[in-house]
A and B are shown apart, each in its own frame.
Chain A
Amino acid sequence: RIYPLMRVTLTTSDGASVTVSRQLTKHSGFIEKAITDMAVDDNAVPLSAVAVDVDDATLKLVIEWLTEHRDDALPYPEKTDEERRADDIPAWDQAFVQKWDTKEDQQQTLYAVITAADKLDIKGLLDMTCKTLANKINGKTVEEMREILQLECDFTEEELAEIRKENAWCEN
């Protein structure tokens, strides 16, 4: 049983502390396991601090997302191989990610949130960020993909020609 008013203090990798409700942390497999491992009384308020390997700025974004998704059903439904669609991102999540687009380092922010979602084991956030990145690259030209993924072409002309030759099986 989760007590929604219970609070958990999270200490970030850059030394900040954030106290949040258990209603939010229940979506993080990592934090829930840490609390279980502490074997503290569920009624203890506040619970002991849980150290997370995520910086303060990224954790704030994660908490913003968790706040919006606090009522999402748990456990997060397992995905089958057949579920490949990336066009079903909720409107709030789209706006949440769109907000980062105003930042210069939007791609870095996205990567930081993806890494945090993985470390904290928040499946819904990982799934949403994966779809976001997939939507960014699907249907784009090679140059556009390089721009989105912030890549420099490191192929030689000969290597590029070889890959184009391999791709030619599918480009007639």
Chain B
Amino acid sequence: MSISSLSEKVMNVMNFSNDRKQHASSTTCLLSLPDVFLHELMKTVEIKDRLRLRLTSRAFEKLVADSKTGYFEHGRLFDYFENRSNKRKLALDIGDGHFTGIESTEEGFEQFLNDFNRICCGISLGTFEVHLDDISSPNLVRKLTHKFNIDRLMIRVGALSTLERARQLFPEYPRCKHELVVTFLPNSETLLILRKMGEIHFDLLSYAITTEELIDFLSFSSIVQVRYLESVTLNKLKTVIEIISADTRPREASFCVKCMSAESLLADFGFARAPNTGDVNGECEVINCTKWSDGYIGLELRFKNCHIHIRGFIWSEGDWIASIAIANHYPTLVTR
């Protein structure tokens, strides 16, 4: 080895050593801050910032991997069609993070989890939503959810077979609240099963049901969302309102009806023409009335213990469709 090349090697080693010292003195400073501070700091860091933070230095890559902290209101596991591979893949949304391209096989999922562990293992989620019909095996859900602390586990099921898997999964999460979202119209046998499962959320946006079915569903469901309510009469509509108003448990129903049904209801409340904000008639108060230039009216009414929201309503347009949301708390559903 020539003297010049040896000298070059020595210089390289010295430069590397200096770099390390410089790095040590600068990063030690932040990473030597109290754990409680670093814990609080990581709580406020969004997913995309975590990804960038772990690229800054080894110490921060480790901090992100080890922090096991962070709270995100909502997480969701579902599948989608990936054009590039011409295959269905899984996606995971957490906060501002959208993880895609996840294989739904055990091996493929494991590969994702290995990397995911280094990004946000140990975070807490307010609600974790699983579209169970999209997931090939409940094991994938188990493996993923072991990485989180979950306040509420929401499982969406669109078929009887998936309902059975949801029934098996829920008891494995005794520490979090459970929410079963049923997206298929159950037959009488399935209804018997559902009644035993506690509070249910019916998301039946592809279905029309009768008022009698709605009343039945409300007896064991906190939320019933349907596309259209069939064979509605004023008396049936009033019955739905009375039932929701009288129930001490949170109850909410959302559906579309013909404008003539909404008009009958308003007339029964004593409003023959479009009311104004603040109008009161008997037990009904108009909390808000928005009149659009194209004739549409949006109403927020208070009747007994109910909030009633009517949207897309037009006077004297009998067959036109308006949406109604009725709840004994402020409605969480956006009326359609």
Give A contacts to B, CB under 8 Å.
79, 81-82, 84-86, 107-108, 111, 114-115, 118, 126-127, 129-131, 133-134, 137-142, 145-146, 149-155, 159-160, 163-167, 169-172
Contacts and interface: CB of A to CB of B under 8 A. Distances in A.
B320 interface: no
A79 to B, nearest CB: 8
A167 B41 contact: no
B51 A167 contact: yes
- Most interface-central of B19, B61, B124 (chain A CB within 10 A): B61
Given A152-B19, A165-B115, 4 more contacts: A146-B57, A152-B22, A153-B57, A155-B58
- Most interface-central of A115, A127, A130, A140 (chain B CB within 10 A): A130
Contacts of A138: 44-46, 49
A169 B112 contact: yes
Contact of A154 (B58, B100, B126): B58
B174 interface: no
Secondary structure type dominating chain A contacts: helix
Contact of A82 (B26, B60, B73, B116): B73
Contact of B57 (A82, A85, A152): A152
B52 interface: yes
Contacts of B118: 166
B287 interface: no
Contact of B44 (A84, A142, A150): A84
Nearest to B48: A170
Contact of B45 (A134, A164, A171): A134
Contact of B56 (A79, A107, A129, A145): A145
B20 interface: yes
Contacts of B116: 169
A141 B19 contact: no
9 contacts: A114-B33, A145-B53, A146-B56, A146-B57, A151-B57, A169-B112, A169-B116, A170-B51, A170-B119
Contacts of A153: 56-57
Contacts of A163: 54-55, 61
